[in-house]
Amino acid sequence: MRLPRDLSGEGLAQALSKLGYRADHQTGSHLRLTTSSEGEHHVTVPRHGFLRIGTLSAILADVALHFGNDREELLRRLGL
């Protein structure tokens, strides 16, 4: 499945809220999201414009690893 090219940091944060991620705090233009589902896990999402493909891929890979999914399954769960 192809990664979206027009996803903003805010859009990714909203999508990750489906998995229980909530904004923990913000430092400058970066938002730290935390979930307690299946153990505590943190990710940092930049909040400036559209996310670069490499950045989006790295964040999704980290989240997929935490939940024990592959990236394709995670994209389906998030509706991206």
Q: Half-sphere exposure of 38 toward its Cβ, with a 13 Å CA cutoff?
A: 10
> How far is 57 from 38, CA to CA, in rounded Å?
21
pLDDT (tens, 9 = 90+) of the chain, 80 residues, equals: 789 999 999 999 999 999 999 999 999 999 999 999 888 999 999 998 899 999 999 999 999 999 999 999 999 999 98
Q: Is residue 3 in some structural domain?
A: no
User: Model pTM?
Assistant: 0.91
Domain CATH for 47: 3.30.920.30
> How far is 27 from 5, CA to CA, in rounded Å?
25
> How far is 55 from 47, CA to CA, in rounded Å?
12
Q: Which helix (H) or strand (E) holds 15?
A: helix 9-16
- Name the residue range of residue 19's domain: 9-78
> How many folded domains does the chain comprise?
1
